[in-house]
Structures are given as C-alpha cells and as structure tokens.
C-alpha cells in the first residue's frame, strides 16, 4: 500500500520539503497548509533577503553559524540557495574559520541532532545501526574521530561540526544532493581533560580508545558502509597524523576512500604552486619547496608533488630532493632518529638546522606552512624569502585564521609587495601603496567537492593519485590573468560550482580511462554530470 503523502505540519517540519512562506496558494491547498502560513507568498529571493538581513543583524560569527544551522534544519533548499548565491560571505561561517569555534563549543550550542555517531559500545552493531539512518542512497560519507580538528586538537564528539560542514560544501559547491550525504563521528572518547570535566559535553566520557580495539571499530564501520551503501565514497577527515596514514594505507585499495587532509590539501596546494609559476616565471620542475610542519597535510602535499615532478621527467629520488621539511625539532635530515615513517622519504643527507638557517642554506622558492601554530612565518623568515626570490611564494595554510603562519598583510608588507601569498582561511584585500592585493584562499573546498562529484558520477571503484593530479591541473588552469594580477592563485569562490564541474569531469575521465568505474561513460560526460547536480531553487 502506497503511503499517503505528508500533509500540514509534517510538511513544514520536513527540511527537505519545507518552503515556508514560499509555498504557492495551490501548494498550500494540496499539502493542507491553509491557515498554517501568513498570507503573503514569498519568492525564494525575498526569503534569502530576509535570511541575510537577520544574519547580518547578529554580532558574532558563532551566532551566525547557529542561525545558519537552524535554517538548514528548517528549510534545506533555502539554506543551500543562500549559501550558493552568497558563497564568499557564508562559507567562512558554515566552514572555516567559524567551524573551528563551533566545534570547540559544539556541546554548548547543541540544538538539533545531526549526523551519525558510532561509539565503542556499538561494536558488533554498526551495520544494524546504519538502518536507523533515514536515507537509503548515501553516496558520500565524511567521517572523523575528532582527534585533530583543524589546528585545535582533540575535540572528541564535538568534531561532528567538521563532517556536517564538509558535506554542506559537497552540496553547495558540487551539487551532491543532501539526501546522499552522511556525516559520521567515531566517538571513541577524548583525552581532552577540559571536555571530560565539562558537564555539558555530549560525547563518550572515557579516554580515547586506541590500539587493536580502535582499528577493529574503524574496520567494522568501513565494512558496514560498504555493505549498506556499496557505491559510497568515504572521506576521512581530521584524524591524528599516524592514524590518518594508517587508515589511508589500509583502505585505499579496499574501499572507495580518500583522506582530505592528506590528499585534498595536496591537490589544492599543488594547484596553487602550479599557478604561482605563471607569476614567478620559474619552471615547476626547477622549484625547491620547503614545508614548515611535517604532519599529514604537509607530507600529503609532498607525496603528490613527487608524482607531479616525476611527470616532468625527474626520477622519484630527484623529485624528493626538491622537497624539504622543517618540524618542531628543525630540519628533517637523515641523522635524526625520532622521525615518523611518513617523514623518512624526505629526510635528506644534510646538516641539521633551524628554520631560518635551513632557508639560508637550501634557498627554497616556495614556503608552505601546515603547522597549526600562528606567527611561525616571522618577519625574519618572510624577509629572507624575499631576499632570495624576486617573487617569493608563501602559503600559510593552517586553519582556522587564528592559526595561520602569517597574515596576508604581513606577507605583503614584509616582502615589499612581492610575495605570492595564499592561506587556508580567508583574508581580506590588502592595499600596499598603489597596489591592492586579493589574496587567494587555498581552501580544500576548491577540490574535494569536485573530486567527490566525479567519483560519484562515474561510480568509481577507487580513488587514485592521478585523480588528484588531474584536479590540481584543472584548478590551476582555471586561474586567469586577472586573478594573478590581483595576487590570487585561485579563482574566485563565486565560480566554485563551475570549478567543481570541471574537476569532476577531469576526475571521471581518469576513472573511465583506467577502467575503474561501474558505470559506462556517457556520450557527453560534462552534460551528464551537470544534469546530476542538485539545484535548490524553487
């Protein structure tokens, strides 16, 4: 027996159906809404104007975040239409940098359950629990264990803000339908004493599960997803570096998955470096690149750059010799004996050195910060880079804004306006003399939504390094001369849907060419992918 369509308050309570004052008179009659709404029928444009007026009336970004999440819980299509049409204003509220504060305060600002939680007490039951999720056609899963949220550390179950935020960008930036998205937190406890003593904290009140028990729970989750949603892409997000690499290496050939901190960050950073060479005039194959920070983000960028250098004709060893790391103990060199496994390929035969001394001896063209520690690109460091390079490239990628290695203003001022600068979180325009710079934001939102869209459209069976290289090349090619002359090595965020479509096509082409798809290649791949993209207009 076909169930009756929802009526009345059930319609207004369903965020996927609700249009609030946007229901026409005919729809109000059809859905039993007469008398339940004010008389005026508002266009979606008018509703967005009301949203923006209310949003801008608030005095703090965390209040704006709460307001937008409440809107998502009431009227999904209105939320996404507002986010798409006002992406430059709203993305920093929905995701970085505001999501960092939202995660720190998640238990205190909790209003409405969102996402799926798995705890150690759920072992043996995860597959059955997935049947509680209301959607049967999940295609993208973003999962975190909350141990390394942005640059903020262990936030436990509060980390749910990350998968919720990432998936909102999958929808807004790449048109993945909200019903196809599943945010997940593996709540395995926390070692954050402040959270454990907080009476409002909502997560498991135990120290973090580790070792064999942790890996068994992750494995049960991955297997359950594959069983329930066999075509779903799993994106690992904000895991501590050793676990991030362990899980990626364990599952990259067994499941349709990738790690955005390692591989997504790599693609967006590589794209920025590709674009920077059009300003510096240097050949990519000749670059020397130094990383401050040696965690998953930095080494992920380097790993992809090895592939990019090899494509230019260098050997793998020659490629690695172009890439240098500095961590909290100084330059990463062979004589050090406390390095993690993922650092070893980049430990060169060279005397140990401090950060500044390493810059002096190695003379890098590009400096990439992924430390989570603010102010580490000091005036001395920026001036050194400017002394060594006519156009020094400085990427301060740590999130949120409070963790950036330097500000845009500092990079331009200390380099006398010669720096090619990008950051992980947004900075406003900077005027220095007669020049106004519009610094580019090296945000993973430029790549992961498009990669996900391409993988989903092709029904890919694996996510491979050539897909990330294709994404990076595509993104770099979309940076035009106007962007570069304004100081930006990324296209404007206002073009993000088109950017995601181009990246999706490139990724799908790689998947089809490699025979890694369950779907036949359509005659017009671009039109097919474009037609699949969610449009929230009503």
Q: Which residues are catalytic?
A: 95, 166
> Quick check: 340 and 241 in contact, CB under 8 A?
yes
Take residue 459 and report the two structure tokens written for it: 């029904």
- What is the rounded distance in angstroms from the CA atom of residue 296 to the CA atom of residue 316? 20
Residue indicated by tokens 């181009």: 502
Cα–Cα distances (Å) from 357 to 340, 371, 387, in that order, read 23, 18, 14
> Quick check: 451 and 142 in contact, CB under 8 A?
no
Buried b or exposed e, range 309-319, using 16+ CB within 10 angstroms? beeeebeeeeb
Take residue 385 and report the two structure tokens written for it: 């880079």
Cα 424 to its chain centre, rounded Å, is 10
- What is the rounded distance in angstroms from the CA atom of residue 292 to the CA atom of residue 369? 5
Helix residue ranges per DSSP H, 197-282: 211-228, 241-251, 265-280
Quote the Cα angle for 299-421-319, to 5°: 35
Beta-strand relationship, 116-118 and 233-236:
unpaired
- Axis-axis angle for helices 76-85, 161-174 (nearest 10): 70
- What is the rounded distance in angstroms from the CA atom of residue 220 to the CA atom of residue 49? 46
> Quick check: 92 and 168 in contact, CB under 8 A?
no
How many residues are present in the chain?
A: 538
**HEC assignment per residue over 113-139:** CCCEEECHHHCCCHHHHHCCCCCCCCC
DSSP helix/strand/coil, 527: helix
Closest CA to 536 of 65, 67, 72, 100: 72
Q: What is the DSSP string of 256-276?
A: SEEEIIIIIHHHHHHHHHHHH
369 pairs with which residues across the strands? 292, 396
Phi, psi of 407 (to 5 degrees): -90, 165
What is the DSSP code (8-state) at residue 141?
E
Check residue 487 and give left, alpha or beta (phi > 0: left; psi -120 to 50: alpha): left
Q: Which helix (H) or strand (E) holds 500?
A: helix 496-513
Closest CA to 121 of 179, 204, 38, 198: 204
Strands, sheet with 330-331, edge to edge from the N-terminal-most edge strand:
330-331, 323-327, 289-292, 366-369, 393-396, 420-423, 440-441
């Amino acid at each position: 027996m076909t169930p009756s369509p929802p009526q009345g308050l059930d319609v207004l309570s369903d965020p996927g159906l609700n249009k609030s004052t946007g229901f026409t008179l005919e729809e109000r009659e059809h859905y039993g809404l007469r008398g339940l709404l004010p008389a005026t029928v508002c266009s979606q444009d008018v509703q967005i104007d009301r949203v923006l007026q209310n949003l801008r009336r608030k005095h703090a970004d965390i209040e704006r975040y709460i307001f937008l999440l409440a809107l998502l819980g009431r009227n999904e299509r209105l939320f996404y239409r507002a986010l798409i049409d006002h992406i430059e204003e709203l993305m920093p509220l929905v995701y970085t940098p505001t999501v960092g504060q939202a995660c720190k305060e998640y238990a205190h600002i909790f209003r409405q359950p969102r996402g799926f939680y798995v705890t150690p007490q759920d072992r043996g039951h995860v597959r059955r629990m997935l049947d509680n999720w209301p959607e049967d056609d999940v295609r993208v899963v973003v999962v975190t264990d909350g141990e390394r949220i942005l640059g903020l550390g262990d936030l436990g179950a509060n980390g749910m803000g990350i998968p919720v935020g990432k998936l909102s960008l999958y929808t807004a930036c790449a048109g993945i339908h909200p019903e196809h998205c599943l945010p997940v937190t593996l709540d395995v406890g926390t070692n954050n004493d402040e959270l454990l003593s907080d009476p409002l904290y909502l997560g498991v009140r135990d120290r973090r599960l580790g070792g064999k028990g942790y890996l068994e729970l992750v494995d049960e989750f991955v297997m359950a997803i594959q069983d329930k949603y066999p075509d779903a892409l799993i994106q690992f997000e904000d895991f501590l570096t050793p676990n991030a690499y362990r899980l990626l290496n364990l599952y990259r050939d067994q499941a349709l998955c990738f790690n955005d901190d390692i591989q997504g960050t790599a693609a967006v950073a590589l794209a920025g470096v590709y674009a920077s060479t059009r300003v510096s005039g240097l050949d990519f194959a000749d670059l020397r690149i130094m990383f401050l920070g040696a965690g998953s983000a930095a080494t992920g960028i380097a790993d992809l750059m090895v592939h990019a250098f090899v494509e230019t004709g260098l050997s793998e060893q020659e490629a690695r010799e172009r890439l240098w790391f500095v961590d909290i103990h100084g330059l990463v060199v062979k004589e050090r004996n406390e390095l993690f496994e993922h650092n070893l390929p980049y430990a060169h035969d060279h005397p140990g050195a401090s950060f500044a001394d390493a810059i002096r001896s190695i003379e890098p063209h590009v400096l990439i910060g992924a430390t989570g520690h603010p102010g580490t690109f000091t005036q001395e460091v920026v001036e050194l880079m400017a002394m060594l390079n006519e156009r020094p490239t400085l990427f301060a990628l740590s999130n949120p804004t409070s963790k950036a290695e330097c500000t845009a203003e500092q990079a331009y001022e200390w380099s006398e306006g010669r720096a090619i600068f990008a950051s992980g979180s947004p900075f406003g325009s900077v005027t220095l003399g007669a020049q106004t710079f519009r610094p580019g934001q090296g945000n993973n939102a430029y790549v992961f939504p498009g990669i996900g869209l391409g993988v989903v459209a092709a029904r890919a069976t694996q996510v491979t390094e050539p897909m990330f290289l294709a994404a990076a090349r595509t993104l770099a090619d979309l940076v035009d001369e106007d962007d570069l002359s304004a100081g930006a090595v990324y296209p404007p965020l206002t073009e993000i849907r088109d950017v995601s479509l181009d990246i999706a096509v490139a990724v799908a082409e790689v998947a089809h060419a490699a025979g890694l798809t369950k779907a036949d290649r359509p005659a017009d791949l671009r039109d097919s992918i474009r037609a699949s993209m969610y449009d929230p207009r009503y």
